[in-house]
Amino acid sequence: MTTEPTHFLDIDDVSRDELLTILERAEAYKRAQRTGADHADLDGQTLGMIFQKPSTRTRVSFETGMTQLGGHAVFLGEDDIQLGRGEPLKDTSRTLSRYVDAVMARVFKHENIEVLAEYSSVPIVNGLTDDAHPCQTLADLLTIREHEGGFEDVSAVWIGDGNNVAQSFALGAALTDIDLTVATPAGYEIDDDVLDRARELGGDPTVTTDPVEAVTDADVIYTDVWISMGQEDERDVRMNDFEGFQVGSDLLEHAPEASVMHCLPAHRGEEITDEIIESDRSIVFDQAENRLHAQKALLSWLLE
């Protein structure tokens, strides 16, 4: 008897208890790596990695993570496989399912990850789509848990574009009872359906267009680029629209104790200043490191 695979297409594909289990496992893997303890829990298993979008952190963290877990990762660029020659996603998905134990895909349209999942007999992991970035959220939550000692009474602010990273983070905040405020310029808000999903999970995100009001006395301030891949032709308009939303020393005067997060890559001097990203308040590179530990935990949880 075969069982349906568990997929991870957005952060709310797991329950609160499952999320906490993954984060606890990530902490254990982080300790194991630092002490040199063996943790080859996926010995002999293979991860296929489909990339339609380029990446630094996603590729290296997943590939390194599989190696450290005793497994193997195969990089599959769009032009390296038959997707680049027009093979339907459903055919790619069914074929890869016969070869590998799990697939991570970094694609443009969210519907593409859904098609991969529909036709796959192995777990599909969303490495990023235009709508969601749940693996980043796992690392974000792990980082907040480490620096704040947990999630209780933590206030976090998302400031900037209500993009895919923001949307998954809003759902992750709801799952962990983080008090979230989202500050975006008018017209750049998180999608209403994502806010509705956050509320269904028990969250109650505050939405505002006032960055100063949003960050006042926050524990964590999180931002991302204003101009994502594929939006380069909107640069002049966006730079004007996001005036006042830069995470710099002026804004942080209103949140003197806040840690600062950014999922990287950063456009220093735009959404965040070089001074802040290099300051003692920045936990940006802890976030980046935690992609590795969180994804190892996710993969072992999905494949156990």
Query: Per the annotation, does 246 bind a ligand?
Result: no
Q: What is the pLDDT of residue 3?
A: 78
Q: What is the pLDDT of residue 273?
A: 98
**Catalytic-residue membership of 262:** no
Q: What is the pLDDT of residue 72?
A: 97
**Catalytic-residue membership of 98:** no
Q: Does the structure show a pLDDT above 50 at 1?
A: no
Q: Does the structure show a pLDDT above 90 at 161?
A: yes
Amino acid at 43: D
Q: Does the structure show a pLDDT above 60 at 100?
A: yes
The active-site residue, picked from 25, 133, 238, 293, is 133
**Catalytic-residue membership of 287:** no
Query: Per the annotation, does 290 bind a ligand?
Result: no
The active-site residue, picked from 7, 25, 106, 197, is 106
Q: Does the structure show a pLDDT above 70 at 84?
A: no
**Catalytic-residue membership of 197:** no
Percentage with pLDDT > 90 across the chain = 92
CA dist., res. 271 & res. 95, Å (int): 42
Q: Does the structure show a pLDDT above 90 at 258?
A: yes
Contact 266, 260 (CB under 8 A): no
Query: Per the annotation, does 16 bind a ligand?
Result: no
Q: What is the pLDDT of residue 229?
A: 73
pLDDT tens digits for 13-71?
Answer: 999 999 999 999 999 999 999 999 999 999 999 999 999 988 999 999 999 999 999 99
Confidence of residue 2 (pLDDT cuts 50, 70, 90): low
CATH code of 134-288, in short, is 3.40.50.1370
Contact 36, 89 (CB under 8 A): no
Query: Per the annotation, does 58 bind a ligand?
Result: yes
Average pLDDT, the chain: 96
The active-site residue, picked from 101, 131, 238, 263, is 263
The active-site residue, picked from 45, 52, 68, 136, is 136
Query: Per the annotation, does 82 bind a ligand?
Result: yes
pLDDT tens digits for 110-121?
Answer: 999 999 999 999
Query: Per the annotation, does 256 bind a ligand?
Result: no
Averaged pLDDT for residues 194-212:
98
The active-site residue, picked from 145, 197, 238, 291, is 291
Averaged pLDDT for residues 209-228:
96
Query: Per the annotation, does 264 bind a ligand?
Result: yes
Same topology for domains 7-132+291-303 and 134-288, yes or no?
yes
Q: What is the pLDDT of residue 82?
A: 81
CATH code of 7-132+291-303, in short, is 3.40.50.1370
CA dihedral 151, 157, 163, 164 (to 10 degrees): -10
Please give the span between the terminal C-alpha atoms of the chain, in angstroms, as a whole number. Answer: 17
Domains of the chain by residue range = 7-132+291-303, 134-288
Q: Does the structure show a pLDDT above 90 at 213?
A: yes
Query: Per the annotation, does 1 bind a ligand?
Result: no
**Catalytic-residue membership of 72:** no
Q: Does the structure show a pLDDT above 60 at 282?
A: yes
**Catalytic-residue membership of 106:** yes
